[in-house]
Amino acid sequence: MERALREAHAAAERGEVPVGAVIVRSDGTLLAAAGNRTEADRDPTAHAELLAIRAAAAALGAPRLVDCDLYVTLEPCPMCAQAISFARLRRLYYGASDPKGGGVEHGPHLFNQPTCHHRPEVYGGIGEREAAALLQAFFRERR
Catalytic positions are 49
How close are the terminal C-alpha atoms of the chain, in Å? Answer: 28
* Phi, psi (degrees; rounded to nearest 5) at 101: -120, 0
- Cα separation, 111 vs 64, in Å, equals 17
**Cα angle: 15, vertex 21, 5; to 5 degrees:** 65
